[in-house]
Amino acid sequence: MDLRSIFMGFAFALMWSSAFTSARMIVLDAPPLFALCARFLLSGVIGVGIALMLGQSWRLTRGQWRATIIFGLCQNALYLGFNFVAMQWVEASVAAIIASTLPLMVAAAGFIVLGDRLRPVAVMGLVAGFGGVIIIMGARWGGGLDPYGLALCVAGALALTVATLALRGASSGGNLMMVVGLQMLVGAAILIGPSLALEEITVNWSLRLVLAFLYTALIPGLAATWVWFLLVQRIGAVRGATFHFLNPFFGVAIAALFLGERLGLGDLIGVLVIMAGILAVQLSKAPAVIPPQAKGQ
């Protein structure tokens, strides 16, 4: 893995993890589902516009249309919708920690549902990763952790796990930015109904809201996704996924820095354990490296 790939991986993890802090800022001043619809609409229009400028086509493959619809529903409407609503009651660091367990959930679900084989190091990684979550949540439970908000975060992570398993190999065929833009528009279309039916559309306009909204739409929404696709094309999905182990640390650190959220010893221990678990699971999937002298024998 070269220096450029490492830089791209760190940039992706940092941008992805920062989304929880900016989302927390947004829901303090605007209805969560309505704000999310507006974010998807802006990101989707920009994404489709960029795709057209790059010469990408609306004519997607069947797998890409499937990816667009399922990700629009599971990733945007359910995963992000549940998280935005949950952050009315839970801290951004809690939402980031739950969401960061996605590689663990995907590995566990693949083993239970699809019969994927797990190496011993992956099993130990799963146990360690979920153990780290228990450490953090146990430490915070006495501090007033809201069970409803926690349940919404878990439901969102499970929805994204389902989408990830359902869409293995569905990103081939080009037109990736078009897929990214269209699936955001799908998310906006799905959420606008629940927003109008369930929310009172009252917005407390502030500089914090405007900056957080623009940042969330452009940086985690578009830039992080684009960097991720470039990283996967450069080093492959398995190696690229190893950078997910940075998400728990970045998510908690950014929330503490910008929102003043508490960071106790139990949080630090739990985050380190989760990071180790995710890294173990991802490294267990990496193919064996063939020494140069052994090639061609």
- Write out pLDDT tens, residues 128-137: 888 888 887 7
Select, from the ranges 2-16, 24-38, 112-126, the one with the highest average predicted confidence (pLDDT): 24-38
Return the higher-pLDDT residue of 287 and 78: 78
Return the higher-pLDDT residue of 222 and 47: 47
Amino acid at 193: G
Q: Which of 179, 159, 156, 154 is nearest to 65 (CA)?
A: 179
For residues 252-279, average pLDDT: 84
Lowest model confidence (mean pLDDT) among 77-86, 235-244, 280-289: 280-289
- Give the residue carrying structure tokens 């190893």: 242
Residues 6+ apart with CB under 8 A from 65: none
Q: Is the pLDDT of residue 278 over 50?
A: yes
For residues 276-282, average pLDDT: 81
pTM of the model: 0.81
pLDDT digits (tens, 9 = 90+) for 190-210: 999 999 999 998 999 999 999
| pLDDT band with cut points at 50, 70 and 90 for residue 249 | confident
- Give the residue carrying structure tokens 């699936």: 183
pLDDT value, residue 194: 94
The C-alpha atoms of residue 257 and residue 99 are separated, in whole angstroms, by 19
pLDDT value, residue 175: 76
Angle at 159 between CA 153 and CA 163, to 5 degrees: 145
Q: Which of 91, 88, 76, 68 is nearest to 38 (CA)?
A: 76
pLDDT digits (tens, 9 = 90+) for 262-272: 777 777 888 88
Residues 6+ apart with CB under 8 A from 99: 20, 79, 83, 153, 156, 157, 160, 247, 251
